[in-house]
Amino acid sequence: MRLYIPVLLGSRRIGRQSIGVARCLMGKLRACANIRTELLDLAGYNVPLMDQRLQEMPDPPADVRELGDKLQQADGIVMVVPEYKNGYPGVLKNALDYLDAGHFRYKPIAISTVSSGEFGGLNCLAQLRLVCLALGGVPIPASLPVSQVQATVDADGTVREPRLAKKVEPFLRELLWYVEAMVTQRHKTTWMRLTTGACLKASTPAGDATR
């Protein structure tokens, strides 16, 4: 089975540096034959300020619907998010506020936070994990904080800092462990629902309803 694991980039700042981290992670995912990935780049989607949830909109903007559909189809999600003012960027929260818990339900979320300073966006990581939980997603224990991004990752995704380079594959390996486990469970749950329903219908003898 081919897994769909998009990379959601939470910065649309002109000159953003977190794009390099997103490209690095996409490159690693692309190297796996059974994974399909793509960049879900908020700079490429026209997402107006949210004034109504997607599910309540009679005629949602095409880009909002497309972004929602792609996240809905995902088996797991990688988020690359810079730290702004000790938190995550407002553009990301605005986009996520359109969605409902169905979009992330039972999906592992791997979060890489990015900063130009020393701490790799750790404040933002804690807050974003809570947002993922509110969406029904499962933030994985591993994280990939990237500090001093300007000196460690090039815009094309080349990682120049060996200590960071060593952390990339274990981070994605943990994501894949959770994705495989949850995809298997999602299919099992569907199968159980189907067989239980069939079993109840087939095996209830006429008249048993009175017992």
Is the Cβ of residue 151 or residue 194 nearer to ligand FMN in the bound state? Answer: 151
Residue 114 binds to ligand FMN (criterion: CB under 6 A): yes
* Residue 12 or 129 with smaller CB distance to ligand FMN: 12
Our finding on whether 112 is near ligand FMN (CB under 6 A) is: no
Using rule CB under 6 A, residue 2 touches ligand FMN: no
Q: Minimum Å distance from CB 39 to ligand FMN?
A: 13
Is 117 a binder of ligand FMN (CB under 6 A)?
yes
Rg (CA), the chain: 20
Stretch of residues binding ligand FMN (CB under 6 A), selected from 23-31, 65-73, 81-89, 158-166: 81-89
Sheet strand arrangement including 7-9: 39-41, 7-9, 77-82, 108-114, 138-143
Q: CB neighbours of 41 closer than 8 A, spacing ≥ 6?
A: 9, 12, 19, 22
Told to check if 145 binds ligand FMN by CB under 6 A, we report no
44: exposed, middle or buried (Cβ count in 10 Å: 0-12, 13-18, 19+)? exposed
Strands (E), 38-119: 39-41, 77-82, 108-114
Q: Which stretch binds ligand FMN (CB under 6 A): 11-19, 27-35, 40-48, 153-161?
A: 11-19
Q: Is 94 in the site for ligand FMN (CB under 6 A)?
A: no
Q: Which residue is nearest to ligand FMN (CB)?
A: 82
Q: Which is nearer to ligand FMN, 75 or 83 (CB)?
A: 83
Exposure string over 146-165, b if 16+ CB within 10 A, otherwise e: bbbbeebbeeebebeeeebe
16 belongs to the binding site for ligand FMN (CB under 6 A): yes
> Helix H segments across the chain?
18-30, 62-73, 90-97, 122-134, 149-152, 162-203
| Residue numbers at the binding site for ligand FMN (CB under 6 A) | 11, 13, 16-18, 82-86, 114-117, 119, 149
